[in-house]
Amino acid sequence: MTHHIGLIHGDGIGPELVDAARRVLDVAVEGEADLEYHEEQGGAGTYAATGEPLGEGALERVRTRYAATLKGPVGLPGVRRPDGTEAGLLGGVLRGGLDAYANIRPISAIPGVRTPLRPESGPIDYVIVRENTEGLYLSRGLGVGNDRAYSDQLLMTRHGVERVVRAAFDLARRRPGAPEDGVSRVTCVDKSNVIRSYAFFRQVFTEVAREYPDIEADHRYADAAGHDLVMTPGHFDVLVMENFLGDILSDVGAATVGGLGMCPSGNVGDHGAYFEPIHGSAPTLAGRDRANPTSQILSAAMLLDHLGLTDPARRVREAVRSAFASGAVSLDSRGIPDVGTRGVAEAVCARL
């Protein structure tokens, strides 16, 4: 079967990472499926050249022609909108355009990767489900104010909260449970003790949780969650939260498993999906074969899962773990792989 895949190389280290992940994809599906790639222009470079973050017609093709899209990191420090905010970012464009309401961010420790946590913290294997189309980031570009004050609105709808909470509980049913105790649980993260919008999020979460009596419903305030993701990470299985909180806490989680370069993500809706690392474009590393492509490779594994190619996806994850556990790949204190970007892809492909 042929699957049509969109490719957005992005900015900075993006092209190198996407090329590495594409090589791994081709080896992983060999003999089981054909992947036909379609390159699309997008990111800060595209914005600087055209005034738009995506190439002409790209959003429609991503939405209607491709089974999924693999996207590299985007953004360049010097490319800004007139209001001073960063230009060329695609989150608002793609998430809104595809109605990709669930941002799925797995956080998993890999043997052989150094972390700042003490060994007794235990295994780490959980998923943050970040609501992707509402919350504080819905105010992107819409804040109002003057030189004395500014205001941005935080909006949540019942429809938006219900669907992302259901996505979190459905995901928990497909997982083996929290590493600490094997319990399948979904943790609602909010600031319902302070902000009414978050109290609404928790209220809807509690209502939806009743539909899943086989899954434990758990709760954390956002500040407590940040603490516990470091102190007792093994307690968590799936966490669901508003957009802004998910952005912050997924970076906290990344720090506990070796850094942002180890963490993939998927942006998934009912009618479209794209997959990307959770980090930025690191332009100072661009073109130097120094960037860690693991996040992009694991994002590609999530893409395979989305296509129903679950066995190749599993093999990619196992190959990544083997490459680090065996010492074939290691990272320095800055997260830079000793074998280079291409070397990581080669080590993973060799194990596939």
CA distances from 334 to 44, 248, 291, 330, 347 (A): 25, 20, 10, 11, 20
Q: State how far the Cα of 168 lies from the Cα of 146, in Å rounded to an integer.
A: 39
Q: Does residue 137 carry a catalytic annotation? A: yes
Q: Which of 191, 221, 228, 289 is catalytic?
A: 191
DSSP states along 23-39: HHHHHHHTTT-EEEEEE
CA dist., res. 169 & res. 186, Å (int): 6
Backbone angles phi, psi at 281, to 5 degrees: -90, -5
Neighbours of 219 (CB within 10 A): 16
The reply to whether 101 belongs to the active site is no
Per DSSP (E only), the strands in 115-184 are: 125-131, 144-145, 150-151
Q: Which of 66, 247, 274, 305 is catalytic?
A: 247
Q: Confirm whether 251 is a catalytic residue.
A: yes
221 is catalytic: no
CA distances from 220 to 137, 204, 217, 239, 329 (A): 21, 15, 11, 9, 36
Of the listed 26, 99, 152, 251, which one is catalytic?
Answer: 251
* Active-site entry in 137, 198, 212, 274: 137
Q: Which of 34, 223, 270, 332 is catalytic?
A: 223
Show which residues are catalytic.
137, 191, 223, 247, 251
